Amino acid sequence: MVRRPVAAVVAIVLFGEAIGIALLNWFLGVIADRQDMSLAGIDPDTMATSSKAGGVVFGLYFALCGVAALLIALRDRAPSGFWRIVLISAAVVHGLLGALTVGLVGWSAFAYMMVVFGLILLTLMMYDRGQGPAGAPPADSAPGGDTEGARKDTAQGDAPEGGGAPAPAAS
């Protein structure tokens, strides 16, 4: 199947993004610090520190998303609970970043974000939980697994025990 390799590729891409976003924000923080740049009167040290902190936070977030994808690839099972939410949030973030990068960076960055968005969605969809457990009875069987009793009830119809005409429906 293709599920494990796709999840592994998603993990590698997300780890790469984690490193890239952390380094980019750190670099921007260093530039803001060395140039004594200010925006709307904000202290340059505050701008540099917040850029570096933002890089670390987003880097850790994308690394966490990469761990979620790596666990899926290693276990070959659908993500559950927390890990599923992490991957869904990563898909949402990539969708939003893709929309923002069109105007700021260009169509190539948008295409990259949409490819990553698609890979994350593909991982989530291939490991969809819509299927029941491996040994589950078919959905058309009666509750409790008594398919023979369900057939007897339907064979007798809706006739009352006296054998006469069916009773009128109560409204």
**What is residue 36's predicted lDDT score, i.e. its pLDDT?**
74
The dihedral over CA atoms of 80, 116, 106, 19, expressed in degrees to the nearest 10, equals 80
What pLDDT is recorded for position 132?
46
Place of tokens 């998303």: 65
What percent of the residues of the chain are helix, what percent strand, and what percent coil, each to the nearest 5?
Answer: 70, 0, 30
pLDDT level of residue 164 (50, 70, 90 thresholds): low
pLDDT tens figures, 111-147: 999 999 999 999 999 887 655 445 555 555 555 555 4
pLDDT in tens, 57-111: 999 999 999 999 999 999 988 888 899 999 999 999 999 999 999 999 999 999 9
Give the residue from 59, 65, 43, 50 showing the smallest Cα distance to 124: 65
> pTM score > 0.85 for this model?
no
pLDDT value for 61: 97
Q: For residue 166, give the amino acid letter.
A: P
CA-nearest of 163, 72, 57 to 123 is 72
Looking at the predicted structure, is the pLDDT value of residue 43 above 60?
Answer: yes
